Chains A and B, each alone.
Chain A
Amino acid sequence: MTSHTKAAPADGRVRVALTVNGARHERSVETRTLLVDFIRDELRLTGTHVGCDTSHCGACTVLLDGRSVKSCTMFAVQADGASITTIEGLAQHGRLHPVQQAFKENHGLQCGFCTPGVVLAATELLQMTKAPTEAEIRAGISGNLCRCTGYVNIVRSVAAAAEMMSGGR
C-alpha cells in the first residue's frame, strides 16, 4: 500500500468516514458492507428500507452528494468521504421538508414502505427540475416501486411539492 492507494487491510475490513444528515460518522467495517447496511445497522437509521435487495425497487434510495442512488447496490467504502442524506435528514428543526409535507397532505402513501425512497427520489427531481410535467414526475420516480397506491397520489404529491417549493407556500 502506497500513499497513492487506499487499501483494505488483509482482514477484509476498512475504515469508512462519511457525513450522514450533517453528522460525521467513522466506523471500521467489512469491505463488503453495503451502504444500506452501514446506514441501518451501524448508524441505526432505519428509515432507509431494504425492499428487493436487487436494485429494482428503490426503497433503499438515499442522496449521495445530492444524487439519488440505490444504497443496496453500493459498498459503504465507495461512499467514503461523501455526504449522504437519508429520510431522517430531510426535516429541519422539526419542520417537514416540503416533499414530506406534500405527501402527508395528498395521501401520497398507503403502507409507507416505499415512501422514504420515493420522497428522496422526488427531492432530487425537484432540485433538477423546478416545475416538472406529469411525465417528468413519473420518469423521475420510475426507479421506485409502490405496490399500494397506483402512483396517482404520489404523482399528485410531487406536483404539490413542486408548487410549494417554487414559493406557493
Chain B
Amino acid sequence: MYPHSFDYVRPESLDRAVGLLREHGERAKVLAGGQSLIPLMKLRLASPAVLIDLGRIPGLSMLKEDGEFLRIGAMTRHRDFEQTAMVRDRYPLLADVARVLGDPQVRNLGTIGGSIAHADPAGDWGAALLAFDAKVLARGPSGERTIPIDEFFKDTFTTALKAGEILTEVRLPKAGAHAGGAYTKLKRKTGDFATVAAAAQVELDGGGKVMKVRIGLAAVGTTPIRAKRAEDHLKGKPADEAHLAAAAKLAAQEARPTSDLRGTAEYKRAMVEVFTRRALERAVERARGRGA
C-alpha cells in the first residue's frame, strides 16, 4: 500500500518546524513516530502534501524530573517509559501504559506526543494523562502556550492545538511521597485499542485517607474522560475496599460507551466498573508501598 506522494522536510530545530508548518499550513502534517499517521496515509485517509518530520529535532525526547514536574518530551517513545527505572519506581501508571500500548515494535517508534495529538478516544495516553494534572506545552508562531490536560481533548481526533502549533512537551506534577497510580486495560489482543481502560492516580495522607485522586477512562466517550463523581466520592475517605468499589460503580455510570465490534455498551459499562476498581486498588497499594 502506497500513500499519495508528498514532499518531506526534516527540520533540525523547533523554530524551523514551526516556520515550515506556518509556510505550508493545512497542506502539511507533522510526523512524530508515525504509528497512527503512516497507516492512515497508506489507507489514503490522510494525504498531506508535505510531511514535517520532528525526528531529528534535539531535545524533544526527554524524560526527567525537573523542579516540580516530570518533564516528558513530545518525541519520547512509548518504550522509553518501560525502560526507565525512575518511571517504573515513581510513576508506575506510565510504565503500565507502556507495557500494554500497541506491541513492542510499535512502542519502539510511537511517541507520547504523537499519540495525544492524534487524540483517538481509545488511545492509552489520554486517559493516563487525565489521571495526572498534566499540562501540555505547544509551540506556535506566537510562542509557547500551556494547555491543561482537562482542556486538551475537544472531540474525537480533535484537540485544543491550533493550526500552526506543535505539541512539544507534557508536564506532570512530580510524584508525592504517598502517591501511586495504575493503568488497567481490557483488550481483545496485543496491538488492539482498549475495549475499555482505566487510569487512577491516588495520593494518601498520613492517616491513609485519600487526599487526591484522579481517574481517567479510555474508549468510553468521544474523548478520553475523567470520572469526576468517582473522584469526589473518594476524596477524604479511607482508601478501603468498600469506598473503592463504590467509586468504581460511579465511574461506570459516568462512562458513555457505545456498542461496536469490541462489545456492547452494557458490557463496556460493566467492564469500566471492574477495571476502575482494579486500577484504584493497585494505585492505593502502590501509594502505600511508597509511603512505607
Contact = CB atoms under 8 A, between A and B. Distances in A.
B35 A73 contact: yes
A61 interface: yes
B16 A4 contact: yes
Interface string B1-24: 111111111111100100010000
Interface stretch (B67-75, B98-106, B142-150, B244-252): B98-106
Contact of B105 (A31, A32, A58): A58
B103 A78 contact: no
Interface of B: 1-13, 16, 20, 31, 34-35, 38-39, 41-42, 51, 53, 55, 79, 83, 99, 102-106, 108-109, 190-191
Contacts of B31: 78
A92 interface: no
Interface in A56-110: 56, 58, 61, 64, 67-70, 73-75, 77-78, 80
Query: Which secondary structure characterizes the binding site on chain B?
Result: mixed
B8 A14 contact: yes
- Helix, strand, loop or mixed for chain A's interface? mixed
Interface string A1-34: 1101111101010100000000000000011101
Contact of A140 (B1, B104, B109): B104
B8 A31 contact: yes
Chain A, interface residues (CB within 8 Å), range: 35 or more
Contacts of B6: 8, 12, 31-32
B108 A5 contact: no
Contacts of A1: 9
Closest 3 CB pairs of A and B: A143-B103, A142-B190, A12-B5
Contact of B104 (A12, A53, A75, A143): A143
